[in-house]
Copies of this chain bind each other. A is one copy, B any other.
Amino acid sequence: MKSEAIDAAPMTGEERARYEGLATVFKALAHPTRLFIVRKLAKGPYCVCDLTTLVGADTSTISKHLSVLKNAGLVTDTKQGTSVYYSLSCGCMSQLFAGAQTIMRANLDRFRRIVEGDPGSGPEE
């Protein structure tokens, strides 16, 4: 049975497109290495080879991760000699991190309560 009232109509095509655009941003952040990179870039620009060293992966891998971030509009790049330096394109990244960290912290708390056996918290069963 349906709930009281589904006031809102089903997802329209335009809505769908908007959510796909948003999803592109989140997809770009949906990888530990890319998060690590974004975190580094928050401190200043880095070139590909530096990030390669920091992450400890193949250069081509890092380059591809950076292109994902760039296509999502999260970073910009500048050429300097043979190097390409990447920077964050938006200060709002910290906002995104803050939100995600809030959730992660809550998850950790929940997990801890479950492990420590605080009754009345976890999935009682």
Interface set of A (CB-CB < 8 Å, partner B): 1-3, 6, 8, 10-11, 15-16, 19-27, 29-33, 35-36, 39-40, 46-47, 49-50, 53-56, 72-74, 83, 89-90, 92-93, 95-104, 106-107, 110
- Copies of this chain assembled into the complex: 2
Indicate if the CB atoms of A92 and B99 lie closer than 8 Å.
yes
Knowing A6-B53, A99-B99, say if A15 contacts B36 (CB, 8 Å): yes
Indicate if the CB atoms of B31 and A23 lie closer than 8 Å.
yes
Q: Which residue of B lies closest to A89 (CB)?
A: B106
Indicate if the CB atoms of B95 and A98 lie closer than 8 Å.
yes
Indicate if the CB atoms of A2 and B99 lie closer than 8 Å.
no
Q: Measured between C-beta atoms, what is the minimum distance from A13 to chain B in Å?
A: 11
Q: Measured between C-beta atoms, what is the minimum distance from A37 to chain B in Å?
A: 10
Indicate if the CB atoms of A30 and B32 lie closer than 8 Å.
no
Q: List 28 A-B contacts (CB under 8 A).
A: A2-B53, A3-B50, A8-B54, A10-B56, A11-B54, A21-B104, A21-B107, A22-B97, A22-B100, A22-B104, A23-B30, A23-B32, A25-B103, A25-B104, A26-B30, A27-B30, A30-B30, A73-B104, A73-B106, A73-B110, A90-B102, A90-B103, A92-B102, A92-B103, A95-B95, A95-B98, A95-B102, A99-B99
